[in-house]
Amino acid sequence: MSSRISILGLAAAGLLLGTVGRSATAVAKEESDRVVTFYKDVVPVLQKNCQTCHRPGQIAPMSLLTYKEARPWAKAMKAAVIARKMPPWFADPKYGHFNNDRSLKPAEIETLVAWVDHGAVEGDAKDAPPPVQWPDEGWQIKPDVVVDLPPYKVPATGVKEWEQLAIPAPFKEDTWVTSVEISPGQPAVVHHYCFNFETHKPTTVYNVYEWMEVPRDDDGVAKNHKRGADTKEGIVLRRAVGTTVETRQPGRQTIRGGNQFCYLPGLPYEDYRPVNAGVFVPAGSDIVVSMHYTANGVDLIDKTRIGFTVTKVPPAKRFIPQDGEDGQNAPIVRKQAIQDLAIPPFDSNYLGPPADITFLKDLELVWFRPHAHMRAVSAQYKLIYPDGREEIVLNVPRYDFNWQLTYRTSLKIPKGSRMHVEFRYDNSANNRFNPDPSKWVYYGDQSWEEMGTPNIGFLVDR
């Protein structure tokens, strides 16, 4: 393919995306001046934007560390970056500023495309930057402390409800945790794995899985989705770690893991080090996990690990979750009639019950993590300041259930502000993730049911 055609093609793609700024002729001139090679031009982009996932032991199906590994994927790489399918990043560039924005700059897309169009030349290995020293054993962070969760048997079939588990946190003294990574043993079946730190209560029993019986119809749809239904009261099931004996008892759930820290498909670790912040964990705290497995046809044993980095020197700022520490002193009030969610069959543009979040103190918002399921197609966060000024602070026009991303930012929010959050759903056949467009879809925990949860995280001064 001649360079002229490829560049015109790219310019056309750029016009469609509205992002490629430079004129085709300017690029053509620059490009004709030198040969684009793997080592000199492509490796820096792969290191910065691709290798966190595209290396052995990570979630991507192939490694892009070496020329030999990357070369067969040259054409696929070109297609994926032009379509902006890779790297996965879904924030509308018109709004907000995100410090973990991993999307490629137009010039980087041009580099990859030019490399592919000119025969994917290897070049001279001496031109390559030194390889990145990635942490061992599949970690993204280099943990100081690791907790091994008890092995969990995930059956090949059947519906698993959300299960809760309390274990002691591994810290004997008051500790500042500066980063947290949840590393699933079997990512294929982990739908979510989240936890909160909590003060130990006398009623909290360690190493017993606890979950609620959820009455479901033949399609697996929960029958207790109706507004006002108390989903924490009913038949409570329990099973001790390492046993298969289940007990059933009417009553209330005794533990409920929050979503202060989460593993979700595509979600990276939490790291407060770059913003000089940490999470304060008092001595003797518990870890309360909420986990949800989705059977995928094979019996598996999941061994999830949680890794922490810690510091002796208290950092300048403290992370606080939206539900408050220990479920108390929540810094926000969230109003959302989410149990009214009822998406009609074949509706291609359904607006879910919006969330309205009021800020009770001055806060620095540091991340957004919009969460919904297979029918969700977009999410938008709009901030309304106390003086009435409105600003869209995150717009996700193409929500993708397979990529649960955290959008990291620094947004100073004055007390009295309000955040209005909307999720939209496509229950038509146009939605390629839709398991069945002919069904009504209600609020529920399973991925064939729906949600629209506007998770956010904050920092305050220590």
- Which positions lie near ligand HEC, rule CB under 6 A? 49-50, 52-54, 59-61, 73, 76-77, 80-81, 86-88, 102, 104, 266
- The residues, any chain, with a CB within 8 Å of residue 439's CB and separated by 6 or more, are 219, 221, 345, 427
Q: Give the HSE-up count for residue 85: Cα atoms under 13 Å, Cβ half-sphere.
A: 8
User: For residue 202, how far is the Cα from the chain centroid?
Assistant: 33
**To the nearest whole angstrom, how small is the minimum distance from the Cβ of residue 17 to ligand HEC?**
15
* Residue closer to ligand HEC, measured from CB, 52 or 453: 52
* Closer Cβ to ligand HEC, 287 or 376, answer by number: 376
Counting beta carbons within 10 angstroms of the beta carbon of residue 378, is it exposed (0 to 12), middle (13 to 18) or buried (19 or more)?
buried
Q: How far is the CB of 134 from ligand HEC (least distance, A)?
A: 13
Q: Which is nearer to ligand HEC, 49 or 336 (CB)?
A: 49
Q: Which is nearer to ligand HEC, 43 or 338 (CB)?
A: 43
Which run of H or of E encompasses 70?
helix 67-70
Query: For ligand HEC, which is the closer residue by CB, 73 or 134?
Result: 73
Residues 6+ apart with CB under 8 A from 198: 166, 204, 285, 286, 287, 288, 326, 327
Q: How far is the CB of 81 from ligand HEC (least distance, A)?
A: 6
Half-sphere exposure of 313 (CA within 13 A, CB side): 4
Q: One-letter amino acid identity for 155?
A: P
Q: How far is the CB of 85 from ligand HEC (least distance, A)?
A: 7
Instruction: Please name which of 415, 175, 140 lies closest in space to residue 280, comparing C-alpha atoms.
Output: 175
Least separation, in Å, of the C-beta of 373 and ligand HEC?
17
Select from 225, 449, 185, 183 the least CA-distant residue to 340. 225
SS3 of residue 252 by DSSP: strand
State the Cα–Cα distance between residues 32 and 144, nearest whole angstrom.
Answer: 50
Q: Which is nearer to ligand HEC, 149 or 180 (CB)?
A: 180
CB of residue 305 to ligand HEC, shortest distance in Å:
19
DSSP string, 314-343: PPSEEEEETT-BTTBS-SEEEE--GGG-EE
Q: How far is the CB of 54 from ligand HEC (least distance, A)?
A: 6
Burial of 2 (0-12, 13-18, 19+ CB in 10 A): exposed
Least distance from ligand HEC to the Cβ atom of residue 276, Å:
25
102 or 238: CB nearest ligand HEC? 102
Q: Alpha helices of 154-311 — where are they, by DSSP H?
A: none
Instruction: Give whichever of 74 and 147 is closer to ligand HEC, judged by the CB atom.
Output: 74
Q: Which two tokens stand for residue 35?
A: 């040969």
Please, which residue, 68 or 126, has the CB nearer to ligand HEC?
A: 68
Residue nearer to ligand HEC on the CB measure, 80 or 342? 80
Q: What is residue 73's DSSP assignment?
A: G
Structure tokens, 193: 């794995």
In the complex with ligand HEC, the residue whose CB is nearer, 54 or 317, is 54
CB 390, min distance to ligand HEC, A: 32
Distance, in Å, from the CA atom of 370 to the CA atom of 378, rounded to the nearest integer, reads: 9
Tell me how far, at minimum, the Cβ of 100 lies from ligand HEC, in Å. 11
Minimum Å gap between C-beta 282 and ligand HEC is 34
SS3 state of residue 24: helix
For residue 87, cis peptide bond before it (omega within 30 degrees of 0): yes
